[in-house]
Amino acid sequence: MSAHDGATGIIKHRMDSMKSLQDASKTVGNMFKGKTDYDLSSMRSASETFIQHGEVMADQFPDTQESREGHKTEALPAIWDNWDEFTALAEKFTQDSRAFDAIVAELQSLPTLDKDSIRTARTAFFKAAKNCSGCHEQFRAE
Protein backbone atom coordinates (compact mmCIF):
# COMPACT_ATOMS: atom_id res chain seq x y z
CA MET A 1 0.00 0.00 0.00
CA SER A 2 1.35 3.39 -0.86
CA ALA A 3 -0.10 6.77 0.04
CA HIS A 4 -1.03 7.12 -3.60
CA ASP A 5 -3.26 4.04 -3.86
CA GLY A 6 -6.85 4.84 -4.72
CA ALA A 7 -6.12 8.19 -6.37
CA THR A 8 -7.78 8.77 -9.74
CA GLY A 9 -7.83 11.28 -12.60
CA ILE A 10 -5.61 14.32 -12.35
CA ILE A 11 -4.54 13.39 -8.81
CA LYS A 12 -3.30 9.99 -9.93
CA HIS A 13 -1.70 11.53 -12.99
CA ARG A 14 0.42 13.99 -11.01
CA MET A 15 1.20 11.47 -8.30
CA ASP A 16 2.59 9.14 -10.97
CA SER A 17 4.60 12.05 -12.30
CA MET A 18 6.04 12.73 -8.83
CA LYS A 19 6.82 9.03 -8.49
CA SER A 20 8.85 9.16 -11.71
CA LEU A 21 10.79 12.11 -10.30
CA GLN A 22 11.29 10.23 -7.06
CA ASP A 23 12.62 7.12 -8.81
CA ALA A 24 14.95 9.20 -10.96
CA SER A 25 16.25 11.05 -7.86
CA LYS A 26 16.81 7.75 -6.09
CA THR A 27 18.84 6.42 -9.03
CA VAL A 28 21.08 9.48 -9.11
CA GLY A 29 21.30 9.70 -5.31
CA ASN A 30 22.45 6.09 -5.05
CA MET A 31 25.36 6.84 -7.37
CA PHE A 32 26.51 9.85 -5.33
CA LYS A 33 26.16 7.83 -2.13
CA GLY A 34 28.38 5.11 -3.55
CA LYS A 35 25.57 2.55 -3.36
CA THR A 36 25.71 1.94 -7.11
CA ASP A 37 28.39 2.52 -9.75
CA TYR A 38 28.35 5.68 -11.82
CA ASP A 39 26.35 5.05 -14.94
CA LEU A 40 26.08 8.17 -17.05
CA SER A 41 23.35 6.87 -19.32
CA SER A 42 21.06 6.20 -16.32
CA MET A 43 22.02 9.59 -14.94
CA ARG A 44 21.15 11.13 -18.28
CA SER A 45 17.74 9.50 -18.43
CA ALA A 46 17.13 10.79 -14.88
CA SER A 47 18.03 14.34 -15.89
CA GLU A 48 15.75 14.04 -18.90
CA THR A 49 12.96 12.81 -16.63
CA PHE A 50 13.45 15.89 -14.44
CA ILE A 51 13.12 18.25 -17.41
CA GLN A 52 10.16 16.42 -18.90
CA HIS A 53 8.16 16.45 -15.67
CA GLY A 54 9.32 19.92 -14.69
CA GLU A 55 7.97 21.35 -17.93
CA VAL A 56 4.45 20.04 -17.30
CA MET A 57 4.46 20.50 -13.51
CA ALA A 58 2.25 23.59 -13.37
CA ASP A 59 -0.24 22.11 -15.87
CA GLN A 60 -0.75 19.19 -13.52
CA PHE A 61 -2.23 21.48 -10.88
CA PRO A 62 -5.22 23.14 -12.57
CA ASP A 63 -7.44 25.25 -10.35
CA THR A 64 -10.44 22.94 -10.41
CA GLN A 65 -12.45 21.38 -7.65
CA GLU A 66 -11.17 17.92 -8.51
CA SER A 67 -7.59 19.13 -8.46
CA ARG A 68 -8.05 20.96 -5.15
CA GLU A 69 -10.09 18.41 -3.26
CA GLY A 70 -9.74 15.10 -5.07
CA HIS A 71 -9.40 11.87 -3.09
CA LYS A 72 -5.88 11.31 -1.70
CA THR A 73 -4.48 14.63 -2.85
CA GLU A 74 -1.57 16.00 -0.83
CA ALA A 75 -1.58 19.31 -2.67
CA LEU A 76 -2.23 22.27 -0.38
CA PRO A 77 -4.53 25.19 -1.28
CA ALA A 78 -1.43 27.38 -0.88
CA ILE A 79 -0.58 26.35 -4.47
CA TRP A 80 -3.48 28.34 -5.87
CA ASP A 81 -3.16 31.12 -3.31
CA ASN A 82 0.47 31.62 -4.35
CA TRP A 83 0.25 30.53 -7.96
CA ASP A 84 3.07 32.77 -9.22
CA GLU A 85 5.45 31.49 -6.59
CA PHE A 86 4.45 27.90 -7.31
CA THR A 87 5.00 28.22 -11.06
CA ALA A 88 8.26 30.11 -10.51
CA LEU A 89 9.54 27.19 -8.41
CA ALA A 90 8.49 24.69 -11.07
CA GLU A 91 10.21 26.82 -13.70
CA LYS A 92 13.38 27.08 -11.61
CA PHE A 93 13.39 23.32 -11.15
CA THR A 94 13.13 22.85 -14.91
CA GLN A 95 15.96 25.30 -15.58
CA ASP A 96 18.24 23.77 -12.95
CA SER A 97 17.43 20.35 -14.39
CA ARG A 98 18.44 21.53 -17.87
CA ALA A 99 21.76 22.70 -16.42
CA PHE A 100 22.23 19.32 -14.74
CA ASP A 101 21.32 17.56 -17.97
CA ALA A 102 23.84 19.63 -19.96
CA ILE A 103 26.60 18.69 -17.51
CA VAL A 104 25.76 15.00 -17.67
CA ALA A 105 25.71 15.21 -21.49
CA GLU A 106 29.16 16.80 -21.39
CA LEU A 107 30.47 14.09 -19.09
CA GLN A 108 29.13 11.47 -21.48
CA SER A 109 31.42 12.87 -24.17
CA LEU A 110 34.53 12.54 -21.99
CA PRO A 111 36.69 9.43 -22.17
CA THR A 112 36.88 8.97 -18.39
CA LEU A 113 35.05 10.16 -15.31
CA ASP A 114 37.29 11.89 -12.75
CA LYS A 115 36.59 13.24 -9.28
CA ASP A 116 36.13 16.80 -10.50
CA SER A 117 33.50 15.81 -13.05
CA ILE A 118 31.62 13.86 -10.40
CA ARG A 119 31.72 16.86 -8.10
CA THR A 120 30.38 19.12 -10.87
CA ALA A 121 27.52 16.73 -11.58
CA ARG A 122 26.78 16.36 -7.88
CA THR A 123 26.58 20.14 -7.42
CA ALA A 124 24.26 20.47 -10.42
CA PHE A 125 22.02 17.65 -9.16
CA PHE A 126 21.86 19.24 -5.72
CA LYS A 127 20.88 22.57 -7.19
CA ALA A 128 18.00 21.02 -9.11
CA ALA A 129 16.90 18.74 -6.26
CA LYS A 130 16.90 21.54 -3.68
CA ASN A 131 13.80 22.87 -5.40
CA CYS A 132 11.92 19.71 -4.44
CA SER A 133 12.09 20.42 -0.70
CA GLY A 134 11.53 24.10 -1.30
CA CYS A 135 8.25 23.28 -3.00
CA HIS A 136 7.14 20.47 -0.65
CA GLU A 137 7.78 22.73 2.34
CA GLN A 138 5.07 25.16 1.28
CA PHE A 139 2.80 23.23 -1.00
CA ARG A 140 2.58 19.60 0.10
CA ALA A 141 0.72 18.22 3.10
CA GLU A 142 2.82 15.94 5.27
Partner 1 sequence: MRARFRAAAAVISVIVVVSLIIASKIQNNSQTESLRRNIWRNANLSTLPADESRGERIARAAGCIACHTDLESDGEMLAGGVVFATPIGKIISPNISSDKQYGIGDWNREQLAEALINGLAPDGSHYWPALPYVAYRSMKTQDVADLHAWLMNTKPISLPAPEHKLRIPSASNRLIGLWKNQYVPKGPLPDEPIPMGQYLVNNLGHCAECHAQRGPLGSITDRSLKGNTRGPDGSNVPAITRQALMDWTVEDIAFYLEIGMTPEGDFAGAHMAPVVEHSTSYLLPEERIAIAEYLLSDINQ
> Which residue ranges make up the site for partner 1 (CB under 8 A)?
21-27, 29, 32-35, 126, 129-130, 132-137, 140, 142
Nearest-10 crossing angle of helices 83-108, 40-56 = 160
Least distance from partner 1 to the Cβ atom of residue 110, Å: 25
- The Cα 40–Cα 49 span in angstroms is 14
Closest residue by Cα to residue 12 from 63, 54, 90, 75: 75
Q: Assess contact for 25 and 53: CB atoms under 8 A.
A: no
Of residues 20 and 117, the one with the C-beta less far from partner 1? 20
Of residues 67 and 131, the one with the C-beta less far from partner 1? 131
Of residues 50 and 67, the one with the C-beta less far from partner 1? 50
Least distance from partner 1 to the Cβ atom of residue 94, Å: 16
Least distance from partner 1 to the Cβ atom of residue 85, Å: 11
Least distance from partner 1 to the Cβ atom of residue 70, Å: 19
> CB count, 10 Å around CB of 35?
9
